[in-house]
Every structure is written in structure tokens, then in C-alpha cells.
């Protein structure tokens, strides 16, 4: 567990809701939920949820910090926006889901091997290298994330897809060697680093 997590637990000991309001994107909306259930019933994930948005919001209010932050529920959201369109109270539910996922990640509480989280990390690392997403490497990293043997199996299973993409010029095998990028990669990296510092400072200030 991270230091930040310990600091946050100390600081908001009595109120997880306050912690969410201060640290989670759009978290100040959670208290507006009237527990009607429309979001839960409208979400296409149906039974695949560990906790629906409605339930997560109630858990936040009930102070179930561990259960919420280490849940994989918010990582499952597909951003379909059904819930936002229908919520009678106008809660930006999708954004709160992503906010919770982001916060859990920052605190180091994401469940191990959570695939959405893994993909997001791979995507981010890939993007940061050249300032552009290298589709080929991104695909390969995903295939091989669970080891070499599984990677080969995954790659074989999706062979046709890969070939079609190359035919349609959506992917280029030469990208494997370096690949194209933006003009000023180090400029981008500096910019992102600065942004990260600002964000870190914000969380430190809140803790």
C-alpha cells in the first residue's frame, strides 16, 4: 500500500464521502444520488458488475472505503453514457466511475491483473515513448502481457485481424522497428512530467 493511501486514510478517517468529494473527479456529485436505481438498471454490463454505480455511491456514503477502492467495478465501465443520459438527478456517473478508477490507481489499490487497468497502463507507456500510439507494439504488448506462450496463442488467434489491418493500411509491420512519432518527443515528456508534478502536489496537499 502506498504512503499516499496511508496519509489519506489518516486524514479522512471518519468520512470516505469527504475524501471522495475532495479527491475524485466529479466526486462532489455523489451525495446528490437519490438511490433510484435507474443507472444500475440501464447499464449494459448488467450482471457483470461487482457493484453497480448506484451501489458504489451508497457504499461511499456508508464509508466502505476498502471495498470501493479495491473493487474492479469502476474499471468495467465502457463509457456508453446510458446512465448519464437517464439519471434523474443529472449525476455525471461515467466521469465519477473513471474518477474513482483513477483515484484507486493513484493510491495503489487496483486489484491485481485488472485487465482494463493493465491495458490503460500499456497504452499510456506506449504513447509516452513517441507521442503517438504505436498500434503494432500496443497490440503485441497486450498479447504478451501474460507471458510468451500465451502471447503466441493470442497472436495466432487474431492473425486474420492483424493481416486485414495491414492490408487496409491500418497497421504497418515496419512500426516494429522504432515507429513514427511526433517532432518534439522530449518536449511532450517534459510537459507531462510538469502536469504530473502539479497533480501530485494537489494530492499531497489534500492528504
> Which CB, 23 or 42, lies closer to other proteins?
42
Which listed range, 5-13, 49-57, 134-142, 171-179, lies at the site for other proteins (CB under 8 A)?
Answer: 49-57
Residue 98 Cα to chain centre, angstroms? 6
Rg from Cα positions in the chain: 20
Burial status of residue 146 (CB atoms within 10 A of its CB: 0-12, 13-18, 19 or more): middle
Q: Binding residue for other proteins (CB under 8 A) from 6, 13, 28, 41?
A: 41
> Which CB, 20 or 87, lies closer to ligand SF4?
87
Q: Quick check: 54 binds other proteins (CB under 8 A)?
A: yes
81 binds, among other proteins, ligand SF4, none (CB under 5 to 8 A by kind): ligand SF4
136 binds, among other proteins, ligand SF4, none (CB under 5 to 8 A by kind): none
Q: Quick check: 89 binds other proteins (CB under 8 A)?
A: yes
User: Cβ of residue 19: shortest distance to other proteins, in angstroms?
Assistant: 23
46 binds, among other proteins, ligand SF4, none (CB under 5 to 8 A by kind): other proteins
Q: Quick check: 36 binds other proteins (CB under 8 A)?
A: yes
Burial status of residue 156 (CB atoms within 10 A of its CB: 0-12, 13-18, 19 or more): exposed
> Which CB, 88 or 205, lies closer to ligand SF4?
88
Q: Quick check: 160 binds other proteins (CB under 8 A)?
A: no
Annotate the chain with three-state secondary structure: CCHHHHHHHHHCCCCHHHHHHHHCCCHHHHHHCCCCCHHHHHCCCHHHCCCCHHHHHHHHHCCCHHHHHCCCHHHHCCCCCHHHHHCCCCCCHHHHHHHHHHHHHHHCCCCCCCHHHHHHHHHHHHHHHHCCCCHHHHHHHHHHHHCHHHHHHHHHHCHHHHHHHHHCCCCCHHHHCCCCCCCCHHHHHHHHHHHHHHHHHHHHHHC
Binding site for ligand SF4 (CB under 6 A): 33-39, 42-43, 45, 53-54, 57, 77-83, 87-89, 91, 93-94, 97
Q: Binding residue for other proteins (CB under 8 A) from 90, 147, 149, 205?
A: 90
Q: Quick check: 35 binds other proteins (CB under 8 A)?
A: yes
Residues that bind other proteins (CB under 8 A): 34-38, 40-42, 46-47, 51-52, 54-55, 85-90
Amino acid at each position: 500500500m502506498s504512503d499516499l493511501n496511508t496519509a489519506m486514510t489518516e486524514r479522512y478517517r471518519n468520512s470516505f464521502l469527504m475524501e471522495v468529494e475532495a479527491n475524485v473527479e466529479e466526486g462532489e456529485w455523489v451525495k446528490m444520488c437519490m438511490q433510484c436505481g435507474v443507472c444500475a438498471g440501464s447499464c449494459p454490463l448488467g450482471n457483470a458488475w461487482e457493484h453497480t454505480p448506484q451501489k458504489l455511491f451508497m457504499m461511499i456514503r456508508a464509508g466502505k472505503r476498502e471495498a470501493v477502492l479495491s473493487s474492479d467495478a469502476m474499471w468495467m465501465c465502457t463509457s456508453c453514457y446510458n446512465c448519464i443520459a437517464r439519471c434523474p438527478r443529472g449525476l455525471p456517473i461515467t466521469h465519477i466511475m473513471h474518477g474513482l478508477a483513477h483515484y484507486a490507481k493513484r493510491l495503489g489499490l487496483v486489484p491485481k491483473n485488472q485487465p482494463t487497468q493493465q491495458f490503460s497502463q500499456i497504452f499510456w507507456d506506449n504513447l509516452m515513448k513517441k507521442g503517438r500510439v504505436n498500434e503494432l507494439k500496443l497490440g503485441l504488448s497486450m498479447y504478451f502481457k501474460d507471458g510468451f506462450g500465451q502471447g503466441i496463442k493470442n497472436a495466432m488467434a487474431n492473425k486474420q485481424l492483424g493481416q486485414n489491418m495491414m492490408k487496409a493500411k491500418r497497421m504497418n509491420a515496419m512500426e516494429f522497428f522504432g515507429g513514427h512519432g511526433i517532432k518534439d518527443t522530449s518536449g511532450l515528456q517534459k510537459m507531462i512530467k510538469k502536469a504530473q508534478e502539479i497533480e501530485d502536489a494537489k494530492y499531497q496537499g489534500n492528504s
